[in-house]
Structure 1
Amino acid sequence: MAKQLDYHTIRRIFERFQAAEAEPKGELEHVNVYTLCVAVALSAQATDAGVNRATRALFKVADTPQKMLDLGIDGLTEHIKTIGLFRQKAKNAMKMSQILVDEYGGEVPNSRAALQSLPGVGRKTANVVLNMWWGQPAQAVDTHIFRVGNRTGIAPGKDVDAVERAIEDHIPADFQLHAHHWLILHGRYTCVARKPKCQACLIRDLCQFEDKTV
């Protein structure tokens, strides 16, 4: 674990991220907040690309909780069977849809506590939905952000909660809204797990990672 970077270094890092891509976007395809919530829940231990391949046809026929219930668990399972843990994810999606219809009038709630009460929705999923749909500076820490935060010293922590707190505490407020997308994309395409592409990294001179590749 790298040591925590100072404020000025972190600001320089995010100024570079911003200059390279001012409005970073999540890569999960969706048509509304409900389909975003479903897509994020399906993406646990799966790739965004794999989820997108499965949900393109699904969301054409089931883009609301009621339509998902009408499709039924067998219909849903057929659509998402290429995604890891699809049987449990299908059960959670149906339970979530039923609760949204029964308790929320078919609408997705916009508080973290309410979102986390839904089957299959943990803190990470809730934070993604809050950030991407409602524009809240919520930090969804996945494996990419955990790796980048610890390698670089931007947000070191022993677990995802510690990294989330470090992001909130140390990244300047004007970068908080897009911070998790910049970090995810950096981890997905540059600061990859096995052989990071340090030679192509735009923050390599500011990063604390000792084992930089040549």
Structure 2
Amino acid sequence: MAVTVLDDRTALVLIDLQAGTLAAPTVPHPAADVVARAAELAAAFRESGLPVVLVRMTNSPDGADATPGRSEAARLAGGARRPYDLGPIAEPLAGYEGDVLVVKRAWGAFHGTDLDLQLRRRGITQIVLGGIATSLGVESTARAAHEHGYHVSFAVDAMTDIREEAHRHSVSYLFPLIGEPGTVEEIVGLLKSRPTGATSG
């Protein structure tokens, strides 16, 4: 399991690293560790002149623009409603000029957003994914990215889940089918080994 190559035009896409998701217990990595690794990765992408995309989940207060359909989610949560706004992007990641902010209303970051447009305008051919939760927002975005024709890589130590078995299924089974799972250290190493002057355009 390793990320072998980064295209000249690669973007980092970080999913739902917001106050609301960081407040919940996560496994196998604590949310604080995921944010720290994501911030390290984002700094390396910025230093390399490559885009950082921060994806934020929110819905209208009345839930009218939430994804419809019957599910057992409310019953499993004891009838509790999902917060319509998961809050601001985590402090170590927010506030950098030039970062791209994408607002989504479903698990995946492509459906109903301008993510694909933002990536294609920048000539992006590959994305590196991280965030919370592995089996929900990250996996949904990864599937869509693969179907849109992007090369997909995964910073598996910069993502985590609410259930360890769900995280491990995504990382060990699904992700190798559609991309290359690796570590933040590997990806940063590939960024540092890029030829001088390489840029995402």
**TM-score category, normalised to shorter length:** under 0.3
Point out the structure with the larger strand share: 2
Give the structure, 1 or 2, with the largest relative contact order (CA under 8 Å, sep 6 or more). 2
TM-score (norm 1): 0.26
More helix by share: 1
